[in-house]
A and B are shown apart, each in its own frame.
Chain A
Amino acid sequence: SAVISQKPSRDICQRGTSLTIQCQVDSQVTMMFWYRQQPGQSLTLIATANQGSEATYESGFVIDKFPISRPNLTFSTLTVSNMSPEDSSIYLCSVWGGELFFGEGSRLTVL
């Protein structure tokens, strides 16, 4: 399976600020996804990151809050905008490689 690297691995952020999470894959992949895992909860799909076009967002998630870039087949970013404490979560990048594989996650704490 592909090696999926995320940066930052963790961060503490102030309310009202924005943070961009990077996801780098060691091979070209067609499908990349972003998930959120709130404390003690399961995984929820935020959006599908489409290469060369706008991301496809799931119900309850909007582009203004979670803008996503996918400039090529090995890289994507997720920005969490205008953060509030409710955005404190693990954000996970995942790729399709016959099945769904995940990065190690980015743990955000918003104060």
Chain B
Amino acid sequence: GQQLNQSPQSMFIQEGEDVSMNCTSSSIFNTWLWYKQEPGEGPVLLIALYKAGELTSNGRLTAQFGITRKDSFLNISASIPSDVGIYFCAGRGGSNYKLTFGKGTLLTVNP
């Protein structure tokens, strides 16, 4: 089956720093999604990408759909303490609704 490799597994940064995380796949995806999960909550959709090469921003967050359709990255600029959480990438390879999730990147921001 399809697998996603998400890295890094965890990050511990200082407030104000920029953050970058990425996902790679052995298969081609038609859609890449990035979710954030805070403690005690369900995942919340941050950014959705639908075209190879697409670069999309949501406030301080920027994500790109890789040209090869096998990777995506998420950048967070000028991190703040409320950015703390687990960030998941997810990919969709066909026309159905099924998503394959990465294992998540745990982000800790030190004030």
**Interface residues in chain A, defined as those with a beta carbon under 8 Å from any beta carbon in chain B:** 1, 4, 31, 33, 41-45, 48, 92, 96, 99-105, 107
Contacts and interface: CB of A to CB of B under 8 A. Distances in A.
A99 B99 CA distance: 10
Nearest to A45: B98
B42 A100 contact: no
Given A42-B88, A43-B88, A92-B42, A100 B102 contact: no
Interface of B: 33, 35, 40-45, 48, 88, 90, 97-99, 101-104
Nearest to A94: B42
Nearest to B45: A99
Given A31-B97, A99-B48, A104 B103 contact: no
A41 B43 contact: no
Please give me the 3 A-B residue pairs with the lowest Cβ-Cβ distance, nearest first: A102-B42, A42-B101, A43-B101
Contacts, number: 41
Given A42-B101, A43-B101, A99-B33, A105 B48 contact: no
Contacts of A44: 101
Contact of B45 (A4, A92, A100, A103): A100
Contacts of A100: 33, 45, 90, 97, 99
Contacts of B98: 45
A105 B41 CA distance: 7
Contacts of B97: 31, 33, 48, 96, 100
Nearest to B48: A99
A5 to B, nearest CB: 11
Given A100-B97, A100-B99, A42 B41 contact: no
B8 to A, nearest CB: 15
Nearest to B103: A42
